[in-house]
């Protein structure tokens, strides 16, 4: 019967273009798909539509001005980018950051992780067709943005760190509000789970979709939740602790099968672990200064270093070279987690349906501002 | 007067008496003549390797049990125009088994071939494309060497130090094909 239809109709591969203006590509991602019917035979990912030359720009700004450029990379997790950059410069200059600042940084990083995962959950679920989750997740994200607004005055691009510590101490009563938020959030995570985890449609759409094994995931350079979804317990917060993570108790959730569903479960569990870390950081907040001994003119000695931290998307690394003479870095390079994770997309979507492409773009959680820089 | 541009990174040798970790000393022991220089700075180990030994060293670092650098974190480059071999191509490696890091560095002149490591770490594929795109380092043996961030018909390599920060500007409109040459000619005529 199949041969019969094959004789009657010509079959040919169809090339279609998805993006860059497509609501489910989370920005300006373009994917050129080669299709056999509804199945993806091969694909080509085209990026660069949002390239602003942040690396080149940074090499012509002074060390403090760069902090606000790092906000513009992963704009849904700006505080984590700030922390990564400031820590790299601190490493170059061998500045010790006071304990109180490290605790606040930890709390802010984890709040940011929850905000970023809320955005991911909302958009990912909406791509797959669950509109309600989007509204719920954004409701909670709003609470975090309010907390950030109270802390640093901005809601998206925070510029919330300084080399050697923090620009300002937390406002009076902020710690209590954060703890209240933790209580609210832990209930809401259960709510998300009720909506999705055992939902028949959700299971059909995510289970067994885009499976990647642990070996493949390491080889292609995945990091963050997509790597842990494949069962590799790699988390920079545990393996190479920074800020105050060495003093925090938390678990690193890992998946087993490496499909979209496991990546979802990993991120959902990360909500709970983040709440746990925030509680410890805020309740154990030590007294003391918030800025270390920083020279008035920041000019690291000549040398270079690579420093990575765990952003909500994966390993964000900074490779910075200082020539020791000028007030700007000689070379400023970011290892963007979204860029490296996106590289796995052609491998993940091969053989799946077009509708799954949308689910998989959401599943690896890319932010194009960071991919293109 | 502006200070002269630096002619290369410092690459300081490890302080005397410091123990070199096994994953660094193993390279020279396994492949003689493969390590030009070992450097240590603020906790990071870096090894400079000649370009023709790169693939051999990379394969050893990935496969040997005590090194086990199975994760290629980053591939990037830095540009030092006064130096004859102006580019440093930098490979940041990580081991998911032992949790240690190392940086491999390869020096290359403009146009000099640097073999692609994407056959060893598939993760290097896009990262090397970016190095080619922004620096114009001649990566050879790459499965898909195209520009990645810049448009395909872009002229010049933006991350080089002699590329102007402001970009091509209106010159791009006048003559998209060789605006860099045009710009240089204009500047020279202004000096005269």
Task: For an interface test with A, give the residue of B76, B98, B127 to mutate (most A CBs within 10 A).
Answer: B76
**In the predicted model, what is the mean pLDDT of residues A228-234?**
90
User: Would you say residue A227 lies in a domain?
Assistant: yes
Contacts of B158 in chain A (CB under 8 A): 53, 56
Name, in order, each residue with C-beta under 8 angstroms of A151's C-beta and a sequence gap of 6 or more: A108, A160, A170, A171, A174
What pLDDT is attached to residue A101?
A: 92
Rounded to an integer, what distance in angstroms lies between the CA atom of residue A63 and that of residue B12? 23
Name, in order, each residue with C-beta under 8 angstroms of A65's C-beta and a sequence gap of 6 or more: none
Q: Rg of chain A's alpha carbons, rounded to an integer?
A: 22
Q: Measure the CA dihedral B140/B145/B151/B153, to 10°.
A: 70
User: Would you say residue A43 lies in a domain?
Assistant: no
User: Would you say residue A188 lies in a domain?
Assistant: yes
Concatenated DSSP letters for A324-354? SSSSS-SEEEEE-HHHHHHTTHHHHHTTSBH
Average pLDDT, chain B: 84
**In the predicted model, what is the mean pLDDT of residues B136-149?**
89
Q: Which of A24-28, A256-260, A317-321, B118-122 has the lowest mean pLDDT?
A: A24-28
Q: Does A16 touch chain B (CB under 8 A)?
A: no
User: Would you say residue A42 lies in a domain?
Assistant: no
Which among A232, A315, A325 has the least Cβ separation from residue B3? A325
Which among A57, A219, A331 has the least Cβ separation from residue B123? A219
Examine the pLDDT at A1 and tell me if it is beyond 50.
no
Classify domain B22-154 at the CATH superfamily level: NADH:ubiquinone oxidoreductase Nqo5 subunit (3.30.460.80)
Return the CATH number at A129: 1.10.645.10
What pLDDT is attached to residue B66?
A: 85
Q: Does B41 touch chain A (CB under 8 A)?
A: yes
User: Would you say residue A78 lies in a domain?
Assistant: yes
> Of the ranges A13-17, A199-203, A266-270, which is most confident?
A266-270
Q: Does B26 touch chain A (CB under 8 A)?
A: no
Query: Which pair of tokens denotes residue A27?
Result: 């920005």
Distance, first Cα to last Cα, chain B: 20
Contact between A303 and B10 using a beta-carbon 8 Å cutoff:
yes
State whether residue A290 is helix, strand or coil: coil
Which among B42, B96, B134 has the least Cβ separation from residue A91? B42
Which residues span the domain enclosing A91? Answer: 53-372
User: Would you say residue A8 lies in a domain?
Assistant: no
What pLDDT is attached to residue B15?
A: 80
Helices (H) and strands (E) in chain B, counts: 5, 7
Position with higher pLDDT, B107 vs B188? B107
HEC secondary structure over B106-148: EEECCCCEEECCCCCCCCHHHHHHHHHHHHCCEEECCCCCCCC
Contact between A335 and B79 using a beta-carbon 8 Å cutoff:
no
Concatenated DSSP letters for A83-144? HHHHHHHHHHHTPPPPHHHHHHHHHHHHHHHHHHHHHHHHHHHHHHT-HHHHHHHHHHHHHH
Question: pLDDT tens, A93-135?
Answer: 889 899 999 999 999 999 999 999 999 999 998 888 888 888 9
Structural domain spans, chain B: 22-154, 162-192
**In the predicted model, what is the mean pLDDT of residues A11-38?**
82
Burial annotation A289-312 (CB, 10 A radius, 16+ → b, else e): ebbbebeeebbbebbbbbbbbbbb
Rounded to an integer, what distance in angstroms lies between the CA atom of residue B49 and that of residue B55? 10
**In the predicted model, what is the mean pLDDT of residues A226-254?**
90
Rounded to an integer, what distance in angstroms lies between the CA atom of residue B86 and that of residue B76? 14
The rounded percent of chain A whose pLDDT value lies above 90 is: 40
Examine the pLDDT at A64 and tell me if it is beyond 50.
yes
Looking at the complex, report in whole angstroms how far the Cα of residue B59 sits from the nearest Cα belonging to chain A: 13
Which among A220, A306, A372 has the least Cβ separation from residue B123? A220
Q: Which of A209-223, A343-357, B162-176 has the lowest mean pLDDT?
A: B162-176
Question: pLDDT tens, B12-36?
Answer: 888 888 888 888 888 888 888 888 8
Task: Give B126's pLDDT tier (boundaries 50, 70, 90).
Answer: very high
Q: Is A186 exposed, middle or buried (0-12, 13-18, 19+ CB in 10 A)?
A: middle
Query: Which pair of tokens denotes residue A364?
Result: 């690896």
Looking at the complex, report in whole angstroms how far the Cα of residue A323 sits from the nearest Cα belonging to chain B: 7
Question: pLDDT tens, A194-218?
Answer: 888 888 888 888 888 889 999 999 9
Q: Which of A80-84, A235-239, B30-34 has the lowest mean pLDDT?
A: B30-34
ipTM: 0.85
HEC secondary structure over A156-182: CCCCCCECCECCCCCCCCHHHHHHHHH
Contacts of A47 in chain B (CB under 8 A): 148-149
User: Would you say residue A35 lies in a domain?
Assistant: no
**In the predicted model, what is the mean pLDDT of residues A139-159?**
90
Question: pLDDT tens, B56-73?
Answer: 899 999 888 888 899 999
Q: Reply yes or no: is the peptide bond before residue A20 cis, omega within 30 of 0.
A: yes
Question: Which single residue is written with the structure tokens 């950059």?
Answer: A85
- Count the residues in chain B: 192
Examine the pLDDT at B183 and tell me if it is beyond 70.
no
**In the predicted model, what is the mean pLDDT of residues A36-51?**
88
Cα distances (Å, whole numbers) of residue A176 to A141, A250, B113: 18, 21, 59
Sign of the C-alpha dihedral computed for residues B44, B45, B48 and B54 taken in this order: negative
Which among A56, A303, A319 has the least Cβ separation from residue B76? A319
Cα distances (Å, whole numbers) of residue A206 to A124, A157, A211, A271: 11, 32, 10, 19
What pLDDT is attached to residue B191?
A: 66
Q: What is the pTM (predicted TM-score) of this model?
A: 0.87
Q: Give strand pairing partners of A315.
A: A310
Query: Which pair of tokens denotes residue A344?
Result: 């796995």
User: Would you say residue A144 lies in a domain?
Assistant: yes
- Rounded (5°) CA angle A155-A293-A77: 20
Nearest-Cα residue of chain A relative to residue B92? A306
C-alpha closest to that of B56 among B90, B106, B112? B106
Concatenated DSSP letters for A25-41? GSSS-EEEEEEETTEEE
Contacts of A325 in chain B (CB under 8 A): 3, 6
Question: Which single residue is written with the structure tokens 């709510």?
Answer: A191
Average pLDDT, chain A: 88
What pLDDT is attached to residue B168?
A: 67
State whether residue B102 is helix, strand or coil: strand
Looking at the complex, report in whole angstroms how far the Cα of residue B142 sits from the nearest Cα belonging to chain A: 15
In chain A, residues 309-328 whose CB comes closer than 8 Å to chain B: 315, 317, 319, 321, 323-326
Contact between B73 and A221 using a beta-carbon 8 Å cutoff:
yes
**What is the total count of domains within chain A?**
1
Give one word for B75, left, alpha or beta, with left for phi > 0 and alpha for psi -120 to 50.
Answer: beta
């Amino acid at each position: 019967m199949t041969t019969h239809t094959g004789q009657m109709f010509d079959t040919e591969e169809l090339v279609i273009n998805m993006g860059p203006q497509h609501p489910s590509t989370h920005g300006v991602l373009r994917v050129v798909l080669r299709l056999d019917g509804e199945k993806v035979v091969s694909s080509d990912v085209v990026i660069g539509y949002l390239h602003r030359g942040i690396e080149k720009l940074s090499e012509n700004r002074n060390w403090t001005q760069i902090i606000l450029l790092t906000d513009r990379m992963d704009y849904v997790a700006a505080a984590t980018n700030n922390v990564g950059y400031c820590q790299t410069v601190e490493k170059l200059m061998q500045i010790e950051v006071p304990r109180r600042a490290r605790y606040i940084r930890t709390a802010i990083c984890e709040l940011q992780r929850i905000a970023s995962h809320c955005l991911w959950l909302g958009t990912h679920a909406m791509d797959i067709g669950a509109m309600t989750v989007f509204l719920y997740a954004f409701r909670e994200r709003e609470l975090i943005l309010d907390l950030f607004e109270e802390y640093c005055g901005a809601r998206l691009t925070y510029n919330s760190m300084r080399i050697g510590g923090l620009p300002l101490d937390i406002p009076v009563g902020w710690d209590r509000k954060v703890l209240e938020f933790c209580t609210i959030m832990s209930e809401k995570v259960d709510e998300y789970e009720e909506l999705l985890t055992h939902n028949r449609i959700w299971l059909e759409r995510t289970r067994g979709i885009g499976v990647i094994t642990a070996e493949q995931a390491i080889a292609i350079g995945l990091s963050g939740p997509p790597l842990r979804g494949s069962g590799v317990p790699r988390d920079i917060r545990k393996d190479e602790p920074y800020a105050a993570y060495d003093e925090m108790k938390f678990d690193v959730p890992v998946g087993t099968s490496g499909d979209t569903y496991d990546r979802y479960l990993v991120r959902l569990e990360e909500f709970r672990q983040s709440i746990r870390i925030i509680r410890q950081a805020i309740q154990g907040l030590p007294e003391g200064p918030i800025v270390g001994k920083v020279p008035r003119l920041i000019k690291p000695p000549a040398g270079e270093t690579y420093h990575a931290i765990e952003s909500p998307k994966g390993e964000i690394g900074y490779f910075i070279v200082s020539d020791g003479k000028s007030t700007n870095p000689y070379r400023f390079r970011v290892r963007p987690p979204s860029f490296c994770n996106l590289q796995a997309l052609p491998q993940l979507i091969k053989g799946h349906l077009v509708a799954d492409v949308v689910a998989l773009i959401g599943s690896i959680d890319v932010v194009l501002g960071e991919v293109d820089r | 007067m502006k200070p002269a541009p630096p002619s290369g990174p410092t690459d300081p040798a490890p302080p005397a008496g410091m123990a070199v970790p096994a994953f660094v000393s193993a390279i020279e022991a396994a492949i003689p003549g493969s390590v030009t220089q070992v450097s240590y700075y603020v906790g990071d180990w870096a090894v400079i390797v000649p370009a023709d030994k790169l693939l051999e060293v990379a394969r050893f670092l990935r496969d040997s049990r005590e090194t086990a650098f199975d994760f290629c974190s980053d591939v990037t480059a830095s540009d030092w125009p006064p130096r004859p071999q102006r580019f440093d191509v930098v490979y940041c490696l990580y081991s998911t088994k032992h949790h240690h890091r190392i940086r491999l560095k390869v020096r290359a002149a403009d146009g000099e071939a640097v073999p692609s490591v994407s056959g060893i770490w598939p993760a290097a594929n896009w990262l090397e494309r970016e190095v080619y795109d922004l620096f114009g380092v001649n990566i050879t043996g790459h499965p898909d060497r195209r520009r990645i961030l810049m448009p395909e018909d872009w002229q010049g390599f933006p991350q080089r130090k002699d590329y102007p920060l402001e970009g091509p500007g209106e010159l791009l409109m006048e003559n998209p094909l060789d605006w860099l040459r045009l710009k240089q000619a204009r500047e020279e005529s202004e000096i005269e």
